[in-house]
Amino acid sequence: MDAGGRCVCTVILPNDPFPVERLELLETSSRNLTQLAQLEMGKIHKYEQQLGEYEARLNNVTRRLESLEQGEAAPSPLDFKELRKEIQEMEAFVDHLKSALNGSDVTVNALHKEIQNASRSISELESFDKNNMMAVKRELSALKQRLDNCQREKPQPGALVSYGSCDHHGLWRVSKPQVVQMNWKGSSYKYGSWGKESALRAAKKNLYWVAPLNTDSRRLDAVRLHTSYRDLLLYKNPTDALIPGFGQGAGSVLYNGSFFFNCFNARDLCRMDLDTNTVERKALPSAAFNNRFSYAGTNWQSIDLAGDENGLWALYATERTEGNLVIGRVDPATLAVEKTWVTSEFKPAMTNAFLVCGVLYATRAISTHREEIFYSYDTKTGREARPSILLEKITETVQALSYNPNDRRLYMYSDGYLISYDTFFRP
């Protein structure tokens, strides 16, 4: 109380006044920041929407570029103009986005890199000679059309025709060569022949034979037999049949259990029974022999024997035909010639010949590694033809070539190698 008896309260205030102005400024700043944050959030939401749209556009551009690079679509100047415009729009947007986000967004950076890659791809594609590109595509289109036409028009192989049947329209093509092995005597024995039982009704249809000639390329001393293809491949379980009196040349054939060949130093046909090793012989009337009118590149094959679906045949020439090939149908039991056909082809111009269903096919060399089946003669109709069927070979010289009706394969002996081919026929 003071001297007058009144109650007095004392309040002690700080020396500094309350910072009202600072508080008001803080409140203003807070409002401004909130508004700015809301504005930036709106921008981010808008950028996210635009980013999704541009990612979709980039994917579309990428697909179109891949289509152009892979040749699925032919490029045009308009394509490149549209692509470049889209790339430029996306690149401008991403640059703006990077600036707005201070370049700190990984997704944006990756997107920018993809856009740059797409831009480079467009530049590379655009630098190509577009006219040449279009020409190549037109050429490819034309080739595809020709291939489709060929596929529709080509004859199909007679795969459904049973072995022994002649229900087809002749030889169509030959497979690539299949090298079986070197002959059992070795590489020094470059001349000879080989094959399989040719008679359709033979008891041992899987009997294989190999008959290398002596190193003089003339004398035939023996024939080796295998009862299966597996044994032939493995050189297992062979049976060697020595030939009494010898044979000559590589024109031999195995037919119905007997081995047929040209008797040595004669125009005779010889038949050796493989069960008894007995030999019967009979002269082939008027046939040239002893290397007269042999095949081109092969000596001592004046007489060539062959088997097909129709039987046993002898191929030879005579002085009367002036060396033109004669086809003789032979009776396997008597060795008698039942009928002959004279062709218009000079036998020494051929490298070899064989028959299929009574049709003769002759070959000639057109290079060191290719033969051509260039001539045919149908004994049923007497009609000659000029097919052009290519036949690849692994060595230069064909010493023997024969057809087998039991498996429709060609058997070639070439510089000591045993080779086979699949054959295909027009249905």
Percentage of the chain beyond pLDDT 70 is 64
**Residues in the chain, how many?**
427
Q: What percent of the chain has pLDDT over 90?
A: 61
The closest of 83, 99, 82 to 47, measured between CA atoms, is 99
Burial 221-244 (b: 16+ CB within 10 A, else e): eebbbbeeeebbeeeeeeeebebe
Residue 389 tokens read as: 């069927």
Residue 18 confidence (pLDDT) above 60: no
Gap between the Cα atoms of 375 and 397, Å rounded = 19
* Residues 6 or more apart whose Cβ sits within 8 Å of residue 90: 54, 57, 58, 115
Instruction: State whether the Cα torsion 342-347-349-352 is positive or negative.
Output: positive
**Residue written as token pair 């577009």:** 130
Residue 153 has pLDDT above 80, yes or no: no
For position 305, what pLDDT does the model report? 98
Report which of 66, 114, 107 is spatially closest to residue 90, judged by C-alpha positions.
114
Residues 95-105: tens digit of each pLDDT:
766 666 565 56
pLDDT at 98: 64
For 296-352, the pLDDT digits (tens) are: 989 999 999 999 999 999 999 999 999 999 999 999 999 999 999 999 999 999 999
Report the 3 state secondary structure along 169-207.
CCEEEECCCEEEEECCCCCCCCCEEEEECCCCCCCCCCC
Residue with tokens 């394509």: 79
Greater model confidence, 7 or 422: 422
pLDDT band of 147, cuts 50, 70, 90: low
Residue 212 has pLDDT above 70, yes or no: yes
- pLDDT top residue among 78 and 313: 313
The stretches of 75-228 forming alpha helices (DSSP H) are: 77-100, 106-127, 130-153
pLDDT digits (tens, 9 = 90+) for 158-198: 545 789 999 999 999 999 999 999 999 999 999 999 999 99
- Read off the pLDDT of each residue in 9-30 and give the average, rounded to a whole number: 61
3-state secondary structure of 13: coil
For residue range 371-393, what is the model confidence (pLDDT) as tens digits? 999 999 999 999 999 999 999 99
Per-residue model confidence (pLDDT) at position 105: 60
Mean pLDDT for the stretch of residues 401-423: 97
Q: For position 274, what pLDDT does the model report?
A: 96
